[in-house]
Amino acid sequence: MSNLKGRGHCQSCQIRHLSIFAQLPMDRLIEIQAFQPSVVTYSADETVYYQGDASLNAFTLRKGLVKLIKTLPNGRTQIVRVLRTGDLFGFDGFAGESYNHTAIPLSEIEVCRLPLQDLTELKKQNAEIENTMMKRWIQHLREAEDMMLELGAKKAAERLASFLIRWCENNNGGWVPLPLSRAEVGELLGLTIETVSRFLSDWKRQGFLNEQRGSIQLENVDGLRKAVCANGSC
Amino acid sequence: MSNLKGRGHCQSCQIRHLSIFAQLPMDRLIEIQAFQPSVVTYSADETVYYQGDASLNAFTLRKGLVKLIKTLPNGRTQIVRVLRTGDLFGFDGFAGESYNHTAIPLSEIEVCRLPLQDLTELKKQNAEIENTMMKRWIQHLREAEDMMLELGAKKAAERLASFLIRWCENNNGGWVPLPLSRAEVGELLGLTIETVSRFLSDWKRQGFLNEQRGSIQLENVDGLRKAVCANGSC
DNA sequence: CGTCAGATTGACTAGCATCAAGGACGGTGG
DNA sequence: CCACCGTCCTTGATGCTAGTCAATCTGACG
């Protein structure tokens, strides 16, 4: 089961600089110290919330990765986003809606559970929070648009290549953890396990990348790009 | 060329109830009457803004429809959203970003051009505006997630059928204008003109729908659903 | 060492794209 | 008013991409 680890204190929070409270000045933090959201852990086989549940809490991811998925009645699944440390999720309640997707950890995670009611208050009283949240929504919308382009206009190899390149950017040539199974990469990109596996194998053979125990290394990004995105397709 | 039609007055605006100013009480409207955004018209062969342009204005659509598109260097295009009366678009500047997509009218349109600087002021001083915008962003994000599911997890026929059903909902059995070419429907759903045309022809022959000069009528939604979404796929 | 989940690989197939030819329709100019 | 043109749409033939099915492999773990 999910496990209440304790109460969070914004002032001492290690990841506050990544959260929606990043821009709050210290005196504000002191003022809101009564606000002590729950810090909760989930293991990889649990679910933070299900699509359709009433959205009473938002969450800030503190440790680990989370996938947000949508599932068709027939079982086909789409990962709509992968969250990283500091990301806010589960805020559909702000629009009076229930959760639009299911949130599942990709590993053991730790989140800060923020009751929407409290968050609404804080947001009202602190323009910085409001502002940071707005910027994030716009940013997410942009990423969603980018993803629609990936899914709608690119072929399998192009999608996979640009996903890997994005995943590994800012890390040029080094090893990057990729804690997604082949199935999950497939669900993210609208491909099957086999297709993902085949391309990765190909590219390993051609020396574009290496892989080891859930980590990946892009050895030759330009080569990969040239091989896959010949005509400027990614 | 785009054509400046005059100045907008929120108090007398016919479509204000659909806009981000819908929730503003009358006394607020009177206070902000100095705010008179430009009302501008564009014809179908113009562009409101291009992906990459600096985002200095947001827009509210007053008349007509607009498509937001993203294009790959090789020319493949994805429509990421189709806008309707009252929709706000072009607000990337709020996040300090340039436009992430290109906005093109689907017909002659009329928009209200809102300088982001002014809008920021208004938003700061009127919580209702802030709130309405927040709800819309969340709603758009939800729609984007839904679209990712469509593009990533459904087959051609399923995508097209659920698009048509969504387009025609709240209009059961009646004629609904569909001012999108086959090519545009394809760009929206990640399909080719031919695939769209083939399915539509099939469904017309089977009596599921009728079409006439840019309007469509879903004659037998249940039949269509049963034929296409056999296993609960849409 | 056996078991099991995930990954790989191959063979085959379905689904959709591509290429190509013709049709419908509205607009223009004689 | 009609012939011509261009644009969009339809339909058919063909081929490639990625999905499906199935067998085998790998590595982690008891």
| Residues A79 and A12 reside in one and the same domain | yes
pLDDT for the residue numbered B234: 75
Instruction: For residue B234, tell me if it sits in a domain.
Output: no
Q: Residues 31 to 60 of B: which have CB under 8 A from any A CB? A: none
Q: Is A233 on the interface with B (CB under 8 A)?
A: yes
Backbone angles phi, psi at A89, to 5 degrees: -150, 160
What amino acid occupies position A54? A
pLDDT band at residue A80 using 50, 70 and 90 as cut-offs: very high
Contact yes or no for B152 and A190 at CB 8 A: yes
User: Which ranges constitute the DSSP H helices of B42-126?
Assistant: 116-125
Which residues, in sequence order, are CB contacts of A202 under 8 Å at separation 6+?
none
Beta strand pairing call for B109-115 and B38-42: antiparallel
Q: Which CATH number covers residue A113? A: 2.60.120.10
pLDDT for the residue numbered B217: 95
pLDDT for the residue numbered B222: 93
Domain count, chain A: 2
Per-residue pLDDT for A231 more than 90? no
Of B141, B151, B232, which has the smallest distance from its Cβ to A151's Cβ? Answer: B151
pLDDT for the residue numbered B2: 76
pLDDT for the residue numbered B72: 95
Domain range for B21 is 3-151
Q: Is A190 on the interface with B (CB under 8 A)?
A: yes
| Residues A84 and A186 reside in one and the same domain | no
| Residue of chain A whose Cα is closest to the Cα of B140 | A141
Q: Which of B145, B146, B163, B229 to mutate to test the interface with A (most CBs of A within 10 A)?
A: B145
Chain B residues touching residue A148 (CB < 8 angstroms): 70, 78, 80, 144, 147-148, 151
pLDDT for the residue numbered B173: 84
pLDDT digits (tens, 9 = 90+) for A160-216: 999 999 999 988 889 999 999 999 999 999 999 999 999 999 999 999 999 998 999
Q: Buried b / exposed e across B77-102, counting CB within 10 Å, b at 16+?
A: bbbbbbbebbbbbbbbbbbeeebbbb
pLDDT for the residue numbered A1: 67
Do B188 and B83 contact (CB within 8 A), yes or no?
A: no
Contact yes or no for B76 and A133 at CB 8 A: no
| Residues B19 and B126 reside in one and the same domain | yes
Chain B residues touching residue A78 (CB < 8 angstroms): 148-149, 152-153
| Residues B25 and B68 reside in one and the same domain | yes
| Residues B182 and B130 reside in one and the same domain | no
Q: Which CATH number covers residue A185? A: 1.10.10.10
Taking the C-alpha atoms of residue B159 and residue A107, their distance in angstroms, rounded to an integer, is 33
pLDDT band at residue A150 using 50, 70 and 90 as cut-offs: very high
In the β-sheet with A66-71, what is the strand arrangement from edge to edge?
A: A77-83, A66-71, A102-105
Average the pLDDT over A101-125 and give the result.
94
Contact yes or no for A72 and B101 at CB 8 A: no
**In the listed set A125, A151, A177, which residue is the last one of a domain according to the structure?**
A151
Q: Which nucleotides of C are covered by protein (CB under 7 A)?
A: 6-11, 15-20, 26
Q: Is B148 on the interface with A (CB under 8 A)?
A: yes
**What is the overall mean pLDDT for chain A?**
93
Per-residue pLDDT of chain B (234 residues; tens, 9 = 90+): 678 877 878 888 889 999 999 988 888 888 777 788 899 999 998 999 999 999 999 999 999 999 999 999 999 999 999 999 999 999 999 999 999 999 999 999 999 999 999 999 999 988 899 999 999 999 999 999 999 999 999 999 999 999 999 999 988 889 999 999 999 999 999 999 999 999 999 999 999 999 998 999 999 999 999 999 877 777
